[in-house]
Amino acid sequence: MPIYEYQCTSCGEVVEVLQKFSDAPLKKCKSCKKFTLRKLMGTPALQFKGSGWYITDYAGKNAANNGGAKEDMPAKSEKSETAAPACACSSGSCPTK
Question: What is the distance between the alpha carbons of residues 71 and 60, in angstroms, rounded to a whole number?
Answer: 11
pLDDT surpassing 50 at residue 18: yes
Of the given ranges (5-9, 18-22, 77-81, 88-92), which has the lowest mean pLDDT?
A: 77-81
Pick from 11-25, 32-46, 52-66 the range whose average pLDDT is largest: 11-25
Q: Whole-structure pTM over 0.75, yes or no?
A: no
| Domain ranges (residues) in the chain | 2-46
- Assigned fold of 2-46: Rubrerythrin, domain 2 (2.20.28)
